[in-house]
Amino acid sequence: MRKTLLESFTHGPLTEPPPKPDKAGLAELAKAVDRAARARLGRSLSIREVDAGSCNGCELEIHALSNAFYDLERFGLRFVASPRHADVLMVTGPVTKNMREALLRTYNATPDPKWVIAVGACAVDGGIFAGSYAVEGGVKDVLPVDLTIRGCPPNPKALLAGLLALLEKTA
Amino acid sequence: MALLDTIAHRETAKQHRPWPRAIVTEEGWRQAIDLLASGRCTLLGLWGDAPAVHMALLAETFDDIAVVSYTCKGGKYPSVAARHPPAIRLERAIRDLFGLEATDAPDTRGWLDLGFWSVRHPLGKRGNARKAAPYAFLPAEGEGLHQIPVGPVHAGIIEPGHFRFTANGEHVVRLEQRLGYVHKGIESLMAFASLGQAAKLAARTCGDSTVAYALAFAQAVEAALQINPPKRAVHLRALMAELERLANHFGDIGAICNDASFAMMHAQCGILRERCLRAADFCFGHRLMMDVIVPGGVLDDIAPKGAARLKDLLAELRGIFPQLIELYDNTASLQDRTVTTGILRAELARQYGAGGYVGRASGRGFDARRAPGYAPYRDLRFEVPVLDAGDVNARVWIRIREVEQSLSLIEQILHSLPAGALKTAVKGNGEICEGIGLAEAFRGEVMAWVRLDDDGGVARCHLRDASWFQWPLLEAAIEGNIVADFPLCNKSFNCSYSGHDL
């Protein structure tokens, strides 16, 4: 078991890139499958939250998304414990120099396709902490960012609106 | 007898308020260490101010504070940690930030500088950056021991830090924390910032306690400049502080139960937390009430219908919360997880000066609102609950009791809210002056120390979270418990990463 565990540190995610779809079959199936899948499974994204240096304010509001008022899971959105299970990384904070490597490793452990959301004023460009010897900058200075949700911290409604926009784009 | 009477000192700083700061020689420094080591004083803070180090002491009776300052010789000062372990991490941080060395320090490993910064000793004599090197965790020896590394990225939506468990099967033999991942260089950004900018930085040191941080910072500045905020502002500040306490306690009581897989409490407490935040947003325009408290007073008044909204909130909370307490107390499977789990011994809580529910669940009744005390709490009735069991259950019960106290405090404040101005003008007094503020956040006291230059800008600011002295106690409390109970113990402490890492 130990060997298996150790190996998992060195190889990338096992999840493979998808094969190229069969064009002829695709056109035929697309409509039917799409309709059936949406109706039965809904749309869904698994989110891994990464605090890359935040003051914890953004985390509090991201937490609130799971309370009864916002009930994130009704939209097919859920938080997962491992980047290996994630489609989306929600990254908060100015990226500190001390967290840069951990953030990169988390990103690399997330299988494609994946999206990165920069959450909060600090995640945009380092915010109030920009320019410090201990801060790398915003999330975009370390990872490709697909969506930015502003605010200090963004309230749960703003967070939800951003996530729903991403759902529209990815679905 | 004042604290400083027992410490030899050459002089006291002329502009240091509200408590004195003494310039000491090695003799006085060692006398201060004696007071700590013999338990006659509690370490309230230890921070660098190159070329000096400052140490804040709290009297046994909690009503007197003194700061002693030692000017390093050749960048060295006699180690406090050598005789008083609570100072260990503070000395390690001082070395990383200032390059000042504690002679005979028991632990010389780095603490905040993990080897990724662009400079070495950013607040002292700057040098070339240190390179990241393997960290030597403390040893644990014995048959059948294995290590479990956790973090810095954790499984939940929480702050980053590293935990190194050494376990024998399920039983934790040793936990060692490695922190510093969210170090943002706040004290460096504070230096030479305007008061407004510095207040914003203070408010973003630890988001869950943004009100308490803004308050401690404002208190320190107001003490330094000898200004009194208007009465209405003082009451509004306390109103916000109690709302913040309520929201955090609700969130954490639910989260602790959730870590014992009791999801219903989590869901119900989550609703109460959200109701508090919505009321805060309605009253003060921000769910966490960020940037409302500033040196001199508050920026905005409570919304016109705010008092009525808060009264409705109180009524709702008072209707629901007792049912949740009953649920907590009568669910045997939950009690099985929290009772006798993660016991923090009273001697350790006392030695480390554990603040907040961590201290109060282990017999240490310190609450900065009570003693040394600050306005308006002197005019309000409240109890400081104290228990002796020191387990997860006791920490939950302290929070339950504090919720009840905060509900009463909010009611009293609304009842006695004075009319009048919101802010006193704040400007430099033409001299360099220093001040200390101590505000009770939900997890314990926040200490702020500032030195202002003659035009009122910040020359140096040090913020010390209660977590500095609580984190090491978590290492002690988990010993002998099972790994699966760590989340419970951890959440019952709920130490801050950002407030600690700065």
DSSP character for B369? I
Mean pLDDT confidence for A30-48: 72
For residue A74, CA distances in Å to A33, A38, A77, A144, A170 come to 22, 14, 7, 28, 17
Render pLDDT for B176-207 as a digit per residue (tens, 0 to 9).
999 999 999 999 999 989 999 999 999 999 99
Question: What's residue A40's pLDDT?
Answer: 54
Question: What's residue A25's pLDDT?
Answer: 77
Q: Tell if the CB–CB gap between A128 and B153 is shorter than 8 Å.
A: no
Q: Tell if the CB–CB gap between B271 and A68 is shorter than 8 Å.
A: yes
Strand B41-49: give its sheet, edge to edge.
Answer: B11-12, B21-24, B65-71, B52-59, B41-49
Question: What's residue B315's pLDDT?
Answer: 98
| Percent of chain B topping pLDDT 70 | 100
By C-alpha distance, which of B209, B213, B218 is closest to B244? B209
Judge whether residue A20 has pLDDT over 90. Answer: no
Mean pLDDT confidence for B375-387: 97
User: Reduced to 3 DSSP states, what percent helix, strand and coil does chain B have, rounded to the nearest 5?
Assistant: 45, 20, 40
Mean pLDDT confidence for B339-358: 97
Question: CA dihedral in degrees (B299, B305, B308, B309; nearest 10)?
Answer: -80
Residue B284: band (very low, low, confident or very high) from pLDDT cuts 50, 70, 90: very high
Find the residue in B nearest to A121 (Cα): B204
Judge whether residue B162 has pLDDT over 80. Answer: yes
Residue B229: band (very low, low, confident or very high) from pLDDT cuts 50, 70, 90: very high
Render pLDDT for B464-493 as a digit per residue (tens, 0 to 9).
999 999 999 999 999 999 999 999 999 999
Question: What's residue B500's pLDDT?
Answer: 97
B400: its two tokens: 């339950």
CA distance B335 to B262: 11
The rounded mean pLDDT for chain B is 96
Mean pLDDT confidence for B111-140: 92
CA distance A132 to A101: 18
Find the residue in B nearest to A133 (Cα): B118
CA distance B228 to B215: 13
Render pLDDT for A112-170 as a digit per residue (tens, 0 to 9).
999 999 999 999 999 999 999 999 999 999 999 999 999 999 999 999 999 999 888 77
- The partner residue sitting opposite B200, judged by closest CB among A57, A102, A128, is A128
By C-alpha distance, which of A53, A61, A105 is closest to A83? A105
Find the residue in B nearest to A47 (Cα): B157
B483: its two tokens: 């790994």
- The partner residue sitting opposite B122, judged by closest CB among A128, A133, A153, is A133
pTM of the model: 0.93
Judge whether residue A42 has pLDDT over 60. Answer: no
Mean pLDDT confidence for B54-66: 95
Question: What's residue A32's pLDDT?
Answer: 72
Question: What's residue A35's pLDDT?
Answer: 66
Render pLDDT for B392-406 as a digit per residue (tens, 0 to 9).
999 999 999 999 999
Beta bridge partners of B86: none
Question: What's residue A6's pLDDT?
Answer: 76
B residues 408-447 near A, CB within 8 Å?
Answer: none
Judge whether residue B442 has pLDDT over 90. Answer: yes
CA distance A149 to A62: 12
Mean pLDDT confidence for B29-36: 96
B206: its two tokens: 């630890």
Residue A15: band (very low, low, confident or very high) from pLDDT cuts 50, 70, 90: confident
Residue, of A23 and B471, whose pLDDT is higher? B471
- Gap from A6 CA to chain B (nearest CA, Å): 13
Q: Tell if the CB–CB gap between A96 and B184 is shorter than 8 Å.
A: yes
Q: Residue A121: list chain B partners with CB under 8 A.
A: none
Beta bridge partners of B69: B23, B54
Question: What's residue B413's pLDDT?
Answer: 98
Question: What's residue A38's pLDDT?
Answer: 62
Question: What's residue A34's pLDDT?
Answer: 67
3-state SS assignment for residue A63: helix
Give yes or no for a contact between B476 and B344, defined as CB atoms under 8 angstroms apart: yes
- Gap from A48 CA to chain B (nearest CA, Å): 8
Q: Residue B210: list chain A partners with CB under 8 A.
A: 55, 57
Q: Tell if the CB–CB gap between A97 and B118 is shorter than 8 Å.
A: yes
Question: What's residue A167's pLDDT?
Answer: 87
Task: Return the beta strands (E) in B239-341 as ranges.
Answer: 293-294, 297-298
Q: Tell if the CB–CB gap between B118 and A67 is shorter than 8 Å.
A: no
Of the residues A88, A117, A133, A163, the best mutation for testing chain B's interface (the one with the most B CB atoms within 10 Å of its CB) is A133
Residue, of A11 and B26, whose pLDDT is higher? B26
Mean pLDDT confidence for B5-15: 91
Judge whether residue A18 has pLDDT over 90. Answer: no
Of the residues A47, A48, A55, the best mutation for testing chain B's interface (the one with the most B CB atoms within 10 Å of its CB) is A55
Render pLDDT for B41-56 as a digit per residue (tens, 0 to 9).
999 999 999 899 999 9
Residue B246: band (very low, low, confident or very high) from pLDDT cuts 50, 70, 90: very high
| Percent of chain B topping pLDDT 90 | 93
User: Which residue type occupies B279?
Assistant: A
B residues 143-182 near A, CB within 8 Å?
Answer: 152-153, 155-160, 180-182
Judge whether residue B423 has pLDDT over 70. Answer: yes
Helix (H) or strand (E) holding B24: strand B21-24
ipTM above 0.90 for this complex: yes
Question: What's residue B397's pLDDT?
Answer: 98
Q: Does B210 touch chain A (CB under 8 A)?
A: yes
Question: What's residue A28's pLDDT?
Answer: 77
Quick one: angle between helices B231-259 and B486-493, nearest 10? 180
B29: its two tokens: 């420094």
B160: its two tokens: 């980053």
By C-alpha distance, which of A75, A2, A71 is closest to B271? A71
CA distance A94 to A49: 14
Q: Tell if the CB–CB gap between A102 and B181 is shorter than 8 Å.
A: yes
Query: How many helices and strands in chain B, by DSSP H and E?
Result: 15, 18
Render pLDDT for A68-102 as a digit per residue (tens, 0 to 9).
999 999 899 999 999 999 999 999 999 999 999 99
Judge whether residue B431 has pLDDT over 80. Answer: yes
A48: its two tokens: 């891994």
- Of the ranges A24-33, B72-81, B457-466, which one carries the lowest mean pLDDT score? A24-33
- The partner residue sitting opposite B116, judged by closest CB among A82, A100, A128, is A100
